A = this chain, B = another copy of it.
Amino acid sequence: MVTRKPVPYETTLLVRDTCLCLHVQRAARTLARRFDDALRPVGMTSGQFSLLMSLNRPEPPTMKSVAELLAMDRTTLTAALKPLVRRKLVRIAIDKEDRRSRRLILTDEGEALLSAAVPIWKREHAAIERALPRGGDGLRKDLLALT
């Protein structure tokens, strides 16, 4: 004889109310949508903003370091770069010192687009911090502890 409801409903409620993976995914989707909407006028998604911004350094970073910074898989980064390279916002160059590595170079067009996005980010981000009862610092600490 097979048990009909092997998972009690209370467990479902417990997961729904406490699961941090679920809560973080929900917040991630909501925030991404919000920034996607805000950045749409300049033709950029939230993920592309984070990626382009991470390339704005004195020394162009390697793919590995960017993937680690964004906590994403290296192959995800490869895919994410394709539309940016196609739009000539990013250029990929083989590292002179280590020919396995690729340097990710923000082009002038990429810089210009990023520049247009910065005030949008500032406005949106300030609004989000205001919505948090205790500001963003505690949240950032917790999120860093998870990474």
Contacts and interface: CB of A to CB of B under 8 A. Distances in A.
Interface of A: 2, 5-7, 9, 11-12, 15-16, 18-32, 34-35, 46-47, 50, 53-54, 56-58, 69-72, 108, 111-112, 114-115, 118, 121, 125, 128-129, 131-134, 136, 138-147
A118 B50 contact: no
Nearest to A28: B28
A24 B21 contact: no
Given A5-B56, A21-B32, A24-B27, 10 more contacts: A15-B53, A20-B129, A21-B34, A21-B125, A23-B139, A30-B146, A132-B146, A133-B142, A134-B138, A138-B142
A137 to B, nearest CB: 9
B53 A5 contact: no
B141 A16 contact: no
Contacts of A18: 125, 136, 140
A23 B136 CA distance: 11
A147 B2 contact: no
A131 B146 CA distance: 8
20 contacts: A2-B108, A15-B53, A16-B54, A20-B31, A21-B50, A24-B28, A25-B50, A25-B70, A26-B70, A26-B143, A27-B71, A27-B147, A29-B72, A31-B146, A128-B146, A131-B146, A132-B145, A133-B142, A134-B138, A138-B138
